[in-house]
């Protein structure tokens, strides 16, 4: 008896002993690929539910696959709502809130499907011969607004299908062009354009073109997405963004060097012609949104033609008086997406803000602006019942859905899809710091300790953002994540140099015509400041890496300092003059360098890395995507050629199936392997 009790006590003791906890490790590319990526949230009409897309990465298939999820906006639950081997995404609630509509490829082409909110079998709605690129439910019924790629002269969808089939059968694959843009981002223009159609369930196999004959994309490419389309509350009219002009016979040759987009109003019954509402403004307009009463249209606009990084203002257009009022002229930030409060008194937007991306509330009556969620990266604020739903991520968490009260208080996460994954990771601690940069201005940066840092000095990974009008802040990035370097044992430093966004338009404008001046000075002063303020950083083992403008800066650095042990240049220019003739969006170099190379040659020669190749001596890894038409891969080849001819240790990594970014999972894994291996080689980390 006593023996049995003793044995029982022993068994109890052994069983209750806690299992040893595995030591946490820093973030790796495998961890990033395992994260579930939330996007495209849509709130139900009653505000109680949110539908959203979740991407899971299938590494073996080398692709991402998406499903539609549902969650309650009170945070009580979240669940997968559709499951299919093919992709489901872009969810929208039906007008009555009883169904979730989504785009799926499960029928062999991209079509709109629906599934009951309570669950059940998915039902195909559209049965078109063409892929659906995007859709919006038309208020007040079952009609849908669709985006479809068609030949502009085609009178029916069948004519587009027939021409596609004829071209597909032809053994001649030659392309011929009479005007720019002949290719864009990562694709060759094929003569087809995205048009907006209205679809009715009474005729599921056809749709009516609301923009017939138009020879520019609607929504305008490359901004794309149905966020550039707005439907009136009664569903009778819509407003869309497109390039100015674009009617049959128009001269479109200036599309490559102008930034002019306009807002067009058209009836959804297919009987009227689009009316240009903003023809007087020759710069960008984006993101139209009807007010709840349908009387006003909110949108964002720039005022300087040709400048894609101009300050984005919020404007209101009165549909009765046809008058425009700029609402945020006094606010020195660039507004992003817009949404209205239910009572029409507030507009919500988001903007880069002091190294973060914040949600702001704009008072429609006064134009007053108030920050609501200002730490981390916050965006996509929309009304959800009596609260505001938004997306939030930080340097230690991917995007999750959050809600807060309209005054910004009581913010809390309603999804925690990645909580278990992030809990297993040792995150590098980070803090923001400031220093006196170029021109005596205050400049901001971040410094991050290696994951699990205990003591001693550590090598430095110095990250340089692209844009150049961008920001490297408190954001969970899947291509340039500072935590991936901290997880590998590096201290990480990144600086928002002159030209960065979120510090006022004058600070952003400061980079114009000064690419290698103040920004380079900021970077060097910022690294010096970090080394002084954070003694755990080992400046004798610093490496630098960057992409796009950051890649350009790597080439500029190579010609101006040898303080770094190694460099990584991803999709960066070596020759600014030749890059003008390589790229597609000519408005960008023409603004940044003051004109064309033949009219303003000094602008292109002022800070041109190719003129300093004679000074190059730092070992450099060069990476480029074969489908990058923004910074063409010959620039990377030229960089590698110069390094090799100079006798500088160098390596060229080329991804023939990637664009300006490395997106395929296995390519991303290879990218990180190559980059970290290169840095380790020259910092002595084995």
Burial class (CB in 10 A: 0-12, 13-18, 19+), 309: buried
Torsion angle (degrees, nearest 10) of CA 536, 452, 623, 589: -60
Taking the chain, what is the end-to-end CA distance rounded to the nearest angstrom?
60
312, exposed or middle or buried, with CB in 10 Å at 0-12, 13-18, 19+? Answer: buried
Maximum alpha-carbon separation in the chain: 102
Collect all residues with Cβ–Cβ distance below 8 Å to 187 and sequence separation of at least 6: 627, 629
How buried is 513 (Cβ within 10 angstroms: 0-12 exposed, 13-18 middle, 19+ buried)?
middle
Task: Please name the residue ranges forming H helices in 132-182.
Answer: 157-169
Q: Are strands 650-655 and 620-625 parallel, antiparallel or unpaired?
A: parallel
545 DSSP β-pair partners: 463, 568
Tokens of 103: 């785009």
* SS3 category, 558: helix
How far apart, in whole angstroms, are the C-alpha atoms of residue 71 and residue 648?
55
Dihedral sign for Cα 602, 628, 467, 524, please: negative
Residue 229 has which token pair?
Answer: 């389309």
Please report, for residues 185, 215, 239, 250, 329, the alpha-carbon distance to residue 242 in angstroms, rounded to integers and kept in the order given.
17, 10, 10, 14, 24
Distance CA 462, CA 466 (A): 13
The whole-angstrom separation of Cα 686 and Cα 677 is 9
Distance CA 488, CA 658 (A): 25
Distance CA 302, CA 680 (A): 44
User: Which tokens go with 454?
Assistant: 């205990």
Q: Find the catalytic residue in 352, 660, 668, 672.
A: 660
Q: Is 184 a catalytic residue?
A: no
The residues facing 443 across adjacent strands are: 435
Q: For 29, phi and psi rounded to 5 degrees? A: -65, -35
Catalytic residue among 194, 341, 548, 650: 548
Alpha helices, DSSP H, located in 233-287: none
Q: What is the DSSP string of 433-475?
A: EEEE-GGG-EEEEEEEPPTT--SS-EEEEEEE--SSS----S-
C-alpha distance from residue 149 to each of 225, 413, 494 (Å): 13, 38, 41
Listed in order, strand segments (DSSP E) in 228-276 are: 229-231, 237-243, 261-267, 275-276
660 is catalytic: yes
d(CA 239, CA 20): 60
Q: Are strands 458-464 and 537-547 parallel, antiparallel or unpaired?
A: parallel
Q: Which residues contact residue 382 at a Cβ distance below 8 angstroms, ignoring those fewer than 6 apart?
A: 41, 43, 339, 348, 388, 389, 390
| Cα separation, 317 vs 301, whole angstroms | 11
Phi/psi of residue 310, nearest 5 degrees: -65, 160
Q: Which of 88, 310, 393, 628 is catalytic?
A: 628
Query: Which residues are catalytic, by number?
Result: 548, 628, 660
């Amino acid at each position: 008896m006593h023996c049995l009790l003793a044995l029982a006590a022993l068994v109890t003791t052994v069983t209750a002993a806690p299992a040893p906890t595995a030591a946490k490790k820093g973030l790796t590319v495998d961890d990033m690929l395992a994260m579930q990526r939330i996007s495209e949230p849509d709130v139900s009409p009653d505000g109680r539910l949110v539908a959203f897309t979740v991407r899971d990465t299938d590494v073996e298939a080398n692709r991402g696959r998406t499903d539609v999820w549902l969650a309650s906006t009170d945070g009580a639950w979240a669940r997968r709502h559709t499951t299919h081997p093919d992709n489901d995404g872009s969810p929208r609630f039906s007008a009555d809130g009883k169904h979730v509509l989504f785009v799926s490829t499960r029928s062999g082409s991209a079509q709109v499907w629906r599934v009951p909110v309570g669950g059940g079998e998915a039902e195909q709605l559209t049965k078109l011969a063409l892929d659906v690129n995007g859709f919006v439910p038309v208020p007040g019924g079952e009609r849908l607004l669709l985006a479809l790629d068609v030949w502009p002269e085609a009178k029916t969808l069948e004519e587009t299908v027939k021409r596609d089939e004829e071209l597909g059968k032809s053994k001649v694959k030659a392309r011929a062009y009479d005007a720019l843009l002949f290719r864009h981002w990562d694709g060759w223009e094929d003569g087809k354009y995205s048009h907006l159609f209205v679809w009715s369930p009474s005729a599921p196999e056809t749709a009516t073109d609301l923009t017939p004959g138009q020879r520019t994309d609607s929504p305008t490419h490359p901004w794309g997405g149905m966020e550039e389309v707005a439907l009136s509350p009664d569903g009778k009219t819509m407003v869309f963004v497109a390039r100015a002009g674009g009617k049959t016979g128009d001269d479109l040759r200036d599309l490559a060097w102008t930034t002019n987009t306009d807002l067009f109003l058209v009836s959804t019954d297919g009987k009227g012609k689009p009316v240009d509402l903003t023809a007087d403004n020759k710069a960008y307009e984006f993101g139209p949104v009807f007010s709840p009463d349908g009387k006003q249209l909110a949108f964002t606009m720039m005022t300087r033609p040709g400048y894609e990084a101009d300050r984005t203002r919020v404007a209101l257009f009165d549909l009765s008086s046809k008058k425009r009022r700029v609402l945020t002229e006094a606010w020195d930030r660039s507004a992003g997406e817009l949404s209205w409060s239910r009572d029409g008194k507030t507009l919500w937007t988001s903007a880069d803000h002091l190294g973060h991306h914040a949600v702001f509330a704009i008072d429609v009556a006064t134009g007053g602006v108030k920050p609501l969620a200002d730490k981390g990266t916050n965006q996509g604020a929309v009304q959800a019942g009596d609260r505001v739903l938004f997306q939030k991520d930080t340097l230690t968490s991917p995007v999750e859905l959050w809600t807060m009260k309209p005054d910004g208080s009581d913010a809390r996460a309603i999804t925690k899809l990645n909580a278990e994954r992030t809990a297993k990771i040792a995150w590098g601690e980070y803090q923001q710091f400031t220093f006196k940069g170029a021109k005596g201005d205050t400049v901001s940066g971040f410094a991050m300790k290696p994951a699990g840092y205990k003591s001693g000095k550590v090598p430095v990974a110095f990250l340089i953002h692209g844009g150049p009008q961008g920001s490297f802040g408190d954001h969970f990035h899947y291509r340039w994540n500072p935590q991936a370097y901290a997880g590998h044992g590096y201290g990480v430093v990144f600086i928002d140099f002159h030209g960065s966004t979120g510090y006022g338009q004058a600070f952003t404008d400061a980079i114009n015509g000064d690419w290698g001046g103040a920004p380079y000075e900021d970077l060097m002063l910022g690294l010096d400041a970090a080394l002084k303020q954070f003694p755990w950083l080992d400046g004798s083992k610093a490496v630098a890496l960057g992409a796009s403008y950051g890649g350009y800066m790597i080439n500029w650095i190579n010609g101006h300092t040898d303080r770094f042990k190694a460099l990584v240049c991803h999709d960066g220019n070596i020759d600014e003059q030749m890059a003008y003739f390589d790229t597609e969006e000519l408005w960008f170099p023409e603004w940044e360098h003051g004109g064309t190379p033949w009219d303003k040659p000094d602008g292109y020669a002022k800070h041109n890395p190719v003129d300093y190749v004679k000074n190059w001596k730092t070992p450099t890894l060069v990476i480029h995507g074969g489908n990058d038409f923004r910074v063409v891969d010959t620039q990377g080849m030229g960089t590698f050629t110069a390094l090799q001819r100079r006798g500088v240790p160098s390596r060229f990594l080329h991804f023939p199936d990637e664009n300006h970014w490395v997106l395929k999972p296995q390519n991303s894994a290879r990218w990180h392997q190559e980059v970290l291996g290169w840095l380790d080689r020259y910092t002595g980390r084995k």
